[in-house]
Amino acid sequence: MKIVHGSPGFGVALNEQQTINFLIKSKLNLLLGTIDDKGEPNVHPVWYLYENGKLYVETEKNAKKIKNLRKKKTAYFCIDDENMPYRGVRGKSNVRIIEDVKSILPVAEKIMLKYTGSLDNKIAKFLLDGARNGHSAVIEMTPRYYATWDHSKGLPA
């Protein structure tokens, strides 16, 4: 895992274990950056799952982010806590789009559990029904690097 300081001169970078813990435990949205067919940036706030060194996002298979990623299989991401002291992780990743329902469902279920706490609530049922019916895709992101920051440490005296 390549980690660089995302806020040089202010705070400290997270180490590898802190980065993994942040990605696993955080219920913040991931801001997914893609490039459209005009070469313009698009930012998509999404729920995510971090597992085995990869980030996963479940979405509607005809969503703008999927259309963008079919053409350019690179995405930028940022997950940051806007509450002081600021902490976060961002980076650039290679992307693979998964469309097989049997592969999508376990990821979608884990994302629903992470963000809603149950598979029995309305939003989880609605989104999982879409996945079961072939309306979803999963974006698998393999980060090239992580730029991290923790402003609770290493501040000037």
Cα 148 to Cα 4: distance, rounded to the nearest angstrom: 6
Yes or no: say if 79 and 48 are a contact pair by the CB < 8 Å rule. yes
pLDDT at position 9 is 79
Per-state percent for the chain, helix, strand, coil, to nearest 5: 30, 40, 30
pLDDT at position 157 is 52
pLDDT at position 37 is 92
pLDDT, tens digit only, all 157 positions of the chain: 898 888 887 888 899 999 999 999 999 999 999 999 999 999 999 999 999 999 999 999 999 999 999 999 999 999 999 888 889 999 999 999 999 999 999 999 999 999 999 999 999 999 999 999 999 999 999 999 999 999 888 665 5
Q: At what angle do helices 101-116 and 122-132 cross, to 10 degrees?
A: 170
- Please name each of the domains of the chain with its CATH number: 3-82+89-150 (2.30.110.10)
For 58-117, where are the alpha helices, taking DSSP H only? 64-71, 101-116
Cα 22 to Cα 29: distance, rounded to the nearest angstrom: 12
Cα 98 to Cα 107: distance, rounded to the nearest angstrom: 11
- Residue-wise pLDDT for 70-84, tens only, equals 999 999 999 999 888
> Is residue 76 within a helix (H) or strand (E), and if so which, with residue range?
strand 74-81
> Hey, how many other C-beta atoms are within 10 angstroms of the C-beta on 153?
12
- Give, in degrees to the nearest 5, the angle at Cα 43 between 41 and 49: 135
Task: Look up the pTM and report it.
Answer: 0.93
